Structure 1
Amino acid sequence: MQETTLCLSVGHHLPYSMSDSNTTDFTNPSTFILLGIPGLEAAHIWISIPFCAMYTIAVLGNFTILFIVKMDPSLHAPMYYFLCMLAVTDLVLSTSILPKTLGIFWFNSSEIDFSACLTQMYFIHCFSTMESGIFLAMAFDRYVAICDPLRHSTTLTNPVVAKIGLAVVLRGGMLVLPHPFLVRQWPYCRTNIIPHTYCEHIAVVKLACADIRISSYYSLSVAFFVTGVDVFFIAMSYTQILRAIFCLPTKDARLKTFGTCSSHLCVILTFYIPGLFSFITHRFGHNVPLHFHVLFANVYLLVPPMLNPIIYGVRTKQIRDRLLQSWLVTWCRALFPESRTEQSKRHSTLS
């Protein structure tokens, strides 16, 4: 109700045509109005600079991970297949919000079609759920690799990895599917102004002039079920992994083995800690300013996709070596291009 009241008060400061259209009674709005970051409208251009930089790094980094894994046959292993799934998920997740957000910041393109809003909502929550499932699959991979290494190649075969990936996709898709259908059935008779940069589920549902407890309870149930189950099994996996590491005879062996898990632990922390903080402040932080909620909700969806390829690129030796090798080859070709004579000799030899 606090956000809805704010929406109504903001509507009085909008241009007449927009304000007039949003005070009219309606049950099925054709469009929603995304305000961006309420209270920070004057700083939208400046806020767009770090947002755009984070998105650019995320796109380049995740496509680099996909390219390296595809081109290097030695990386065709379960760990890197899961990493590719994570890269694709990060690309879709960040792309689901940022183009529209930048449109609001740069061109004041605040309108979004009702169906497009529901589609965006579905993609955001669906791929967030998938990302959590991928982290669980990666934890299982590390558990088998460290606690039962002799059976790793027979346990995590390519068909098993494909089935795990399919299960992650189906779980995310099916659990989130009721969200847009529930949102579509509510009447929106007060306003269609969303004080956000994207169609976040709670921000949209709070605009309905109906009993939204079903949507609220289902959203909470899915969040607790997905996050609770995944975090529980990830914690169980790493409890067994740490026990196996501490049983190793030498310090070097313990450090080397733990190094294979460090990148995974880092990306887990960058995903779950901001998500938990955002959830707590959104549900219980009623005294937290609205612009902080919206700003952090954007950062939460942009920072992990940006950091994940950087963490894996720095912490994973195989990816780091392959990336350095690619850069060296590129620089060598740029600095020492073949002469036409050498190219013709090479072509004549090949022919």
Structure 2
Amino acid sequence: MDIERITPAEALRRQRDGALLIDVRERHERAAGHAKGAMGIAKAELEADPQAVVPDRDAVVLLICQSGQRSLAAANALLAAGYRRVASVEGGTTRWIAEGLPLAPPDADSDFYDRYSRHLRLPEVGEAGQRRLQSARIAMVGAGGLGSPAAFYLAAAGVGSLVLADDDVVDRSNLQRQILHTEARIGVAKVESARIALSALNPTVQVDVFPERITAANVERLIADADVVIDGADNFPVRYLLNDACVKLGKPLVYGAVHRFEGQVSVFDAGRHRGHAPCYRCLFPEPPPPEAAPNCAEAGVLGVLPGVIGLLQATEAIKLILGIGEPLSGRLLHFDALGMRFRETRLPADPECPVCAEGREFPGYIDYVRFCAA
């Protein structure tokens, strides 16, 4: 038996005569607006138990979706389940709107459903995962080359709160790679410039600025409430300090570093997984000599390279919050931009690590500047 296909105008007429109109789109699709008076039941839910929605198999049921394809498939499912008076609305909600037929107003939370609609379509994310992102807090050290792309994509992804720590101001030489900043904001504090850019992209994200140099006296205040910490620092004293604080407080640390044409990314999660996951000190028990690791101002850096590494850091942070995929914990990912190659190095936890060894008490913060200069 062929399913009857009707116009939106005919559907409206039958609805007013007592027919049941059901919108079979997903909730986030219906949130932007739907046919007035339509009952919202996702196609999968309707097909799983149609009698829970329409107990009377003789009822007149009209199905509508976005374009008419899903509603037609759902109508066939109802027909197979014994429903005899089923029709599908051709052109769906798109045509309903184009013809100026009555609409229910968008949901109060329509920005959420509209903005993150592509996330909501992913079974690994869905509404529950997006709500987790919305309630998450990420602390980032550095609003420069690595922090710029990471912060942009975390804000776009809907991470609820971003804490940005940087005590520097925007310089023209930053603009080659630090995409949070603009020519017009040269001389402005980087965290304030970042706040302006991120709020313009996604005004629903809370951006807390931390215009201070990170020290042992304030690092815990920065990361205490964070779910994930991102290391976008450009010097070894801050890297070691951040690592030690994350081990002490049990925070996952997403590490990234760049040098000329090469970059590295990893996740150090020793604070939550003592003896199983490494920390930064397991990789670098001691800092390299200054001549072996010059900074970007001394050695230069390909402008797009921090973009690649920062996006990988943002990806790892999102995975950690959602609890999906395989994080880079225990693995160091190397990127060679000139060769366009990735390679991976396994990183075991160091059983003798002075900070993260299983059963070892936190030794306390040290003079990191002196440690790195020794």
TM-score, with normalisation over the residues of structure 2? 0.22
TM-score, with normalisation over the residues of structure 1? 0.23
Q: Larger Rg: 1 or 2?
A: 2
Higher helix share: 1
